[in-house]
Structure 1
């Protein structure tokens, strides 16, 4: 029995480490089955439907627990200190710059225009016929019934309530009550992360079912298949271009202008954690390497590193925020849903908040994109359009997340005069 359990655990670890490979296999198999057996697609498409339902299942409790946990923990760790204000200011600024970069590119390139849809256009959101004003959207942020907001998946209301609840946990005078609530939501978040990772394990099956559905619908039309591949390629290039601009232009300029640090030298110091982040798609797993590189290679003090990097690995997700914005706009374009300025502003704000709530684990952004789609009324089934290429983009955006964390630590350390040697 013990041998069997050991073998099972060994296979699970192997499966998790090589999830990207299994997703690629599922992608190829889905294309083949959808093309060869289009009339039998319903035998397999239920796998994609189940996967989408699984994502829907975890959205509200995961976002609720992660934001309450993050805000309450932050509030109990020198939340009014100068260092915290500098750190949060940097994280919000760079995340917004990343999102705006992605928004500009996706509006210029329009990768989703003309893309074949993964299923029929039934259940299109009300936005396709009638836009919601910014005023109405702001009003909907404040729920009249929080439990109704949870059950109906009203993400803006859920996020607003979670932030408010987290803030006021830190205001509770009785330390035992404050600690009890904080511990409860920390524990709830850990449980929800476990459930989320369990759902993500089924990504290959979800990819297979969704791809079979898409290919089967277009199997008789090679032109549409080519159009689908071209649209997906344009989507990938849009995300990659945005990540490249943010990583190699925006962040280096901030380092030069705000701290006078040579970004090339800093990049060399961070090479090992960046490669690890790219290969593991986990900023959390890269955390020890990031801290070690900053302290011993980039010359940043332990006080700065030990505060900014764990916090950054939790709430600073520039690459994820950019990806979520581009993905949401790509899906809107594919469904021919025009988002006006107010609705695109909601995408920006929700992408920022969702990226803060995203965990530093592989494919966490896949769950967070569902939050944005729900917030602006886009069809969640559109996630199926980007599943096939999510992992390679996940690797890239995770590396950008870690790079941004390290740049922030360097800038803040220089402003505090806490570098042990000159990096520039």
Structure 2
């Protein structure tokens, strides 16, 4: 039986929402509660999904006890490259301002109240370590939740064998259960997106203006991803490894094309390792640590896209994020990227995490989800290329003789 892929269903739902809003705009006020139910369901699974995903990802890493010199270099380079990607995204979205002029209205007055609450850098740092984990869970303190999840994952990994086995089984079971619920909710996303977008379009004076803004958003993300891939990562590769970045790019075409078509970093791990070892001469000792670890935590392209998406949503609602709130976007993007690789539509979950962290309306996801599939393919390729660049730099720093 023929069945449309989910991204096509979502795209059709968006088109249908545009059509209905043009001829029957009053329909939205009768069905907007369906959209609220969908958003509530999505918010419901965000915290347990992020917590269990991060704990299981770090807790089950094979090489964390062996990381030492190679692992520290790898982790530092992954964080550094993701940080640069986020800065590129923030710079472009603040420069181009793709969301300005949409003119959406925030329906929940509580959100406006939260946005007027000023936070200092000291507040951000204080919130990273919550005094009460249960208060952090109920208060949606995303930075605190992510930090505790990372800490828990690390200590599970380095615990005694029996403790590690029991805790990993518990959190893996919790993750599988939460993931099943998430998959069910995501299957309903075409209905949710239709209702949410229809409600938003009923408050937009010029629909064509919105379409133009979405086009600008798409181009902003693509420009950022291409700049990071061709310029930033090439400069990092040349500075730290003194190798020809264009030759490296040519050698990595097979895993890049595969990751683009599959939109999965994990699925391309064997091809990525083979390309690095055969074409570039990187040792298995390096690739066996850097590439599986990168597929789990190194999300250059994803972190960049999420930052652009969150600021685009803020601009669409006419909300100006303060410098401190943009710092929160940076920190949350970096931390939320860890462990989200195995989650279906990971970008959707990450976006919900960041929107909650800065207090923006989560229904803004409905604006950008329609173009997410194409961008997902691009950002996955950037993620994989970032992994390969780090592998080459680490190999070079270990004194290996490479073919490039």
TM-score, structure 1 as length reference:
0.88
**d(CA) in 2 for partners of 1:154, 1:164:** 16
Out of 110, 125, 149, the residue aligned to residue 97 of structure 2 is 110
Query: Is residue 117–residue 385 contact of structure 1 (8 Å, CA) maintained in 2?
Result: no
**In structure 2, the residue corresponding to 1:339 is in which secondary structure?**
coil
2:247 maps to 1:265:
yes
Shift of 1:69: 2.2
**d(CA) in 2 for partners of 1:391, 1:49:** 23
CA RMSD of aligned residues (A): 2.3
**In structure 1, the residue corresponding to 2:64 is in which secondary structure?**
coil
**d(CA) in 1 for partners of 2:222, 2:53:** 28
**Corresponding residue of 1:28:** 15
Shift of 1:313: 0.4
Q: Aligned pair in 2 of structure 1 residues 191, 299: CA closer, same or farther (>3 Å)?
A: farther
**d(CA) in 2 for partners of 1:362, 1:62:** 11
**Corresponding residue of 1:4:** none
Query: Is residue 106–residue 361 contact of structure 2 (8 Å, CA) maintained in 1?
Result: no
**d(CA) in 2 for partners of 1:336, 1:349:** 23
**Corresponding residue of 2:349:** 367
Q: Aligned pair in 2 of structure 1 residues 118, 187: CA closer, same or farther (>3 Å)?
A: farther
Query: Is residue 127–residue 337 contact of structure 1 (8 Å, CA) maintained in 2?
Result: no
Q: Aligned pair in 2 of structure 1 residues 191, 307: CA closer, same or farther (>3 Å)?
A: farther
1:379-398 equivalences under 5 Å are 379-398=361-380
**In structure 2, the residue corresponding to 1:297 is in which secondary structure?**
helix
TM-score, structure 2 as length reference:
0.92
2:229 maps to 1:242:
no
Out of 294, 316, 330, the residue aligned to residue 312 of structure 1 is 294
2:144 maps to 1:157:
yes
Shift of 1:261: 1.9
Indicate the larger mover: 42-51 or 108-117: 42-51
1:250-399 equivalences under 5 Å are 250-360=232-342, 362-399=344-381
**Corresponding residue of 1:177:** 163
**Corresponding residue of 1:422:** 403
* CA deviation string 1:98-140 (max 9, x = no partner): 0011111111112222223276363434343232222223223
Unaligned runs of 5+ residues in structure 1 are 1-6
**Corresponding residue of 1:49:** 36
**d(CA) in 2 for partners of 1:288, 1:194:** 27
Q: Aligned pair in 2 of structure 1 residues 178, 99: CA closer, same or farther (>3 Å)?
A: same
Shift of 1:79: 4.9
**Corresponding residue of 1:3:** none
Query: Is residue 313–residue 360 contact of structure 1 (8 Å, CA) maintained in 2?
Result: no
* CA deviation string 1:353-411 (max 9, x = no partner): 01113224552011111111111212212212212222221111111111111111122
**Corresponding residue of 1:86:** 73
2:58 maps to 1:71:
yes
